[in-house]
Structure formats: structure tokens, C-alpha cells
Structure 1
Amino acid sequence: MPRRRHRYQVVHAGWSNKRRVYGCVLHLDIKNEKIWIQHDGTEGGIANELINRGVPKKDIVLAFHSPFKRQFTEFAVG
């Protein structure tokens, strides 16, 4: 049975003209019962979407910020 790592990514992949296109749009991890946003390339921000759907800010870590900077946000530090 495969081990679940609770790592989720949304990528775009394909071709544009004759050139290969690939890139990470969104990368989330679930660690210690918190949602760690590793990368957010969305226009509106996945953190805002999670809040709108009822996830408390204390359960969201903006992991793309350094641990030092996280203390100055309204979100979890880790």
C-alpha cells in the first residue's frame, strides 16, 4: 500500500506553438494538521479561498514566507 504524504500540486503542462510548457501553479502540503502553502501562483490567492470556505487562519501556514516573516502575518507560523 502506498504511503500518503499529503502533498498536493496543480501544474500546467502541454504545448504552446512548438514549445513545451510546464510549471507549478499551486503546491500545498498538510503537516501537523495545518495547510502549508508552499507556492501560490493563483490570481486570487489560495489562502483567501480557503478562508472563504471556512478554514481558520490559524490552520494556514504561508510557507513561501520565511519563518521570520510569518510572525507578522495573521496566519500560523508553523
Structure 2
Amino acid sequence: MATIDEYRRHIQNLLIEHAKLVWDERIQAQTIFDTERDHYQLVYVGWRGSKRMYGTVLHLDIINDKIWVQQDGTEVGVANQLVELGVPKQDIVLGFDPPKMRHYTDFAVG
């Protein structure tokens, strides 16, 4: 069984890797790691001309020893990447799915 420290490392490494994928030098990828409360985010911040660009691309929390994917704006799916790193599906909750629908996935319900 993996430890919470391993989960923290996996999450941080994934967010750092996704931050490197920003294709526009006008957009800054900010990783936010609150290891005390186990909140982790990747946020895009910047401007394209006069248009403000801001948004949370990834938001993961660790709650009750499970990784909660609260927001996932990636194509590959961060939950799938976590599974590839050895995190059991029963330790991953797709928090962006309605609670009534979670039992239809292969992941934890909460």
C-alpha cells in the first residue's frame, strides 16, 4: 500500500510535468502546493492581447487517504496517470463527477 507521502510526490511531480506543457510564453503555469492541508493546483495566468487568461487546469486534494481529482482540464486524464504510477483506483475519487454517478466508474466513490 502506498503512503500519503508517495501520493504527495506523485501529485506534485504530475503538476510540474503538466506545467512544462504550456505552449504560449504569455501564459504562466503556476503550481500551488499546500502540503499541510493537502491541496494541489496547476493554474494558468496571463494575457493574450487585452484578454485575461486565468483558470485552474488541475486541482487535486488528499482527503481521508484518498486522492480527490476536483478539476482535470487535461486530455490524458490525471487519474489515469496516477494509476500508471501505481495508485490503486480505489484510492482515487473523481470529485468532479456527481456523487450519484461515481459508482459507474472504476474509481472510488468517496
| Fold shared, TM-score > 0.5 on shorter chain | yes
* Counterpart-to-counterpart distance in 2, 1:4 and 1:15: 31
Aligned to 1:56: 88
Aligned to 1:41: 73
- AA paired with 1:49? Q
Paired residues, number: 76
Tell me: higher relative CO, structure 1 or 2? Use CA pairs within 8 A at least 6 residues apart. Answer: 1
* Counterpart-to-counterpart distance in 1, 2:100 and 2:106: 13
* Counterpart-to-counterpart distance in 1, 2:99 and 2:51: 37
What secondary structure does 1:71 align onto?
A: helix
TM-score of the pair, normalised by structure 2: 0.66
1:9-32 residue CA offsets vs partner (Å, 9 max, x unmatched): 101001112222100100101000
Aligned to 1:66: 98
* Counterpart-to-counterpart distance in 1, 2:56 and 2:90: 25
Runs (5+) with no aligned partner, structure 2: 1-34
* Counterpart-to-counterpart distance in 2, 1:72 and 1:18: 43
TM-score of the pair, normalised by structure 1: 0.91
Runs (5+) with no aligned partner, structure 1: none
Over aligned residues, Cα RMSD in angstroms?
1.2
What secondary structure does 2:107 align onto?
A: coil
Query: In proportion to residue count, which structure has more helix?
Result: 2
Correspondent of 2:107 among 56, 75, 78:
75
Displaced runs of 4+ in structure 1, greater than 6 A?
Answer: none
* Counterpart-to-counterpart distance in 2, 1:17 and 1:57: 42
